[in-house]
Amino acid sequence: MKYILIILLAFSCQKELTQQLKGISLNNPGFEDGFSGWTRETKYTGPNGWKIDSSAVASGKVSLKFFARQPYHIAFETLQETPWNGIIYQTVTGLTNGTYTFKCQGLAGGTGMYVFANDKTVELARPDWFTIYTVTFEVTDGTAKVGFKCTDAGGTTQWAPYYFVDDCGLIKKL
């Protein structure tokens, strides 16, 4: 009898959670189709910056990688690409107004790198293997702009600044 009660309670909680959240489709949320669906804005024209990469993924075959070189990365290297600034995003329209959460899995090293949704940001700052990052925000005009930005990205940790992100999602709280 105890096991039946636990199963019923778990089903009830799952049903309640499902009723409170609604997933919204993003275009190419795992970067499996390259940059398709994502808009990139930066004045940077060098060899690094954003790339589609297979060296660190949460799922699928690729993820979005960001990297900017600094002189201390390699002995005798003089290429300086920091502080680095830019934004990569999707604009989602036709949303009902309310509370949403943009999420992704990511890992990062350095400073000045963010997950953002409209006017809210969370810093990408964990070099651990794929941490889940979430940004909760309000939609008031039926539109959400979600993605990643670098504001004077830099840092002194090895290979900083860098990040990998994968498995993006947008969820509406009902």
At residue 158, the pLDDT reads 72
Q: What is the pTM of this model?
A: 0.82
Give the fold, CATH level 3, of 23-173.
Jelly Rolls (2.60.120)
**What is the rounded CA–CA span in Å between residue 150 and residue 162?**
10
Token readout for 90 is 């999707």
CB 148 within 8 A of CB 66: yes
At residue 74, the pLDDT reads 63
At residue 68, the pLDDT reads 82
CB 106 within 8 A of CB 122: no
Render each residue's pLDDT in the chain as its tens digit; 174 residues.
443 333 333 333 334 434 466 889 999 999 999 999 999 999 887 788 899 999 999 999 999 999 887 766 665 555 667 778 899 999 999 999 999 999 999 999 888 999 999 999 999 988 777 899 999 999 999 999 999 999 988 877 777 788 999 999 999 998
| Mode of pairing for the β-strands spanning 39-41 and 63-67 | unpaired
C-alpha neighbours within 13 Å on the C-beta side of residue 88: 24
